[in-house]
């Protein structure tokens, strides 16, 4: 696409959880306007036809900083670049690495222009499929200790448990990372009942979607089914079940 004044642009685009219907109009426009699209192969493929004719820079897990660097270089060279993430790019997504790269350069805040296009994050998608679990204060905790030491994650789990936050767990369990989920359960059980509802959403708004509701006691038995395309939502002390849904009242007074 012609970019006569050579003013580069970086879009940080959230693609939403999966199905094209959950990709925002603004995300579509950003992708359409872009010369280059950077992201994980699977997510890029998710955007399908929108990408016809674009230069694609696909990446594998662990290449986030390299790809962010590449995207920033292209934008400095005057290209319009979309860096895509699933869900929201600003939630455990590519926005972090891009800002990190800009932070290491003499970025003037204008050139390249940076614009974030928010997307529906996994916890919102999961909550929608479960009912209304995120109704009071809640937090997201990633159980991945790839970039964050386990001691910090443990500290956050304890604080969330003590604070009676509803908790959305991202990156709950992978082939090489299995005990963390059970450790999270153990920490939460120190402050809440075994009957606390737990919603498990796998592949939200994607083919193969699975929604399961259990409780903290029951979580152990089905932990094997939980993987990296799963978000786990753990209720607080007021969360209840209703006809196969999981809901948290708007406030404690309604309990």
Among 88, 97, 185, 213, binds ligand SAH (CB under 6 A): 88
Q: Is residue 102 within 8 Å of residue 65, measured between CB atoms?
A: no
Among 121, 136, 238, 248, binds ligand SAH (CB under 6 A): 121
Size of the site for ligand SAH (CB under 6 A): 25
- Least distance CB 7 / ligand SAH (angstroms): 28
Among 127, 181, 204, 234, binds ligand SAH (CB under 6 A): 204
Stretch near ligand SAH under the rule CB under 6 A, chosen from 5-13, 63-71, 81-89, 104-112: 81-89
Residue 87 binding ligand SAH, by CB under 6 A: yes
**Cβ count near 144 (within 10 Å):** 18
- Least distance CB 15 / ligand SAH (angstroms): 9
Alpha-carbon distance of 198 to 219, in angstroms, equals: 7
Look at the block and give the residue holding tokens 């059970």.
182
Among 11, 22, 92, 165, binds ligand SAH (CB under 6 A): 92
Among 8, 93, 112, 199, binds ligand SAH (CB under 6 A): 93
Site mask for ligand SAH (CB under 6 A), range 1-20, x = bound: ----------------xx--
**Under the rule (CB under 6 A), what is the footprint of ligand SAH?**
17-18, 85-88, 91-93, 121-122, 125-126, 170-172, 201, 203-206, 228-231
């Amino acid at each position: 696409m012609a970019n006569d004044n050579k003013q580069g642009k970086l879009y940080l685009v959230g693609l939403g959880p999966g199905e094209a219907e959950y990709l925002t109009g603004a995300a579509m426009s950003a992708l359409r306007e872009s010369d280059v699209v950077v992201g994980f192969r699977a997510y890029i493929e998710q955007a399908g036809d929108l990408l016809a004719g674009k230069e694609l820079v696909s990446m594998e897990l662990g290449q986030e900083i390299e790809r962010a660097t590449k995207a920033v270089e292209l934008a400095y060279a005057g290209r319009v670049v979309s860096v895509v993430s699933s869900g929201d790019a600003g939630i455990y997504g590519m926005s972090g690495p891009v800002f990190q790269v800009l932070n290491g350069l003499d970025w003037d805040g204008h050139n390249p222009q940076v614009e974030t296009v928010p997307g529906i994050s996994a916890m919102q998608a999961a909550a929608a499929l479960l009912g209304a679990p995120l109704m009071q204060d809640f937090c997201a905790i990633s159980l991945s200790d790839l970039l964050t030491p386990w001691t910090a994650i443990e500290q956050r789990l304890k604080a969330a448990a003590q604070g009676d936050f509803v908790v959305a767990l991202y990156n709950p369990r992978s082939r090489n990372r299995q005990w963390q989920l059970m450790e999270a359960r153990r920490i939460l059980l120190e402050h809440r009942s075994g009957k606390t509802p737990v919603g498990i959403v796998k592949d939200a708004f994607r083919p193969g979607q699975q929604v399961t509701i259990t409780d903290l006691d029951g979580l152990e038995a089905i932990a094997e089914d939980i993987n990296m395309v799963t978000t786990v939502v753990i209720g607080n002390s007021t969360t209840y079940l209703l006809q196969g849904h999981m809901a948290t009242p708007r406030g404690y007074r309604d309990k």
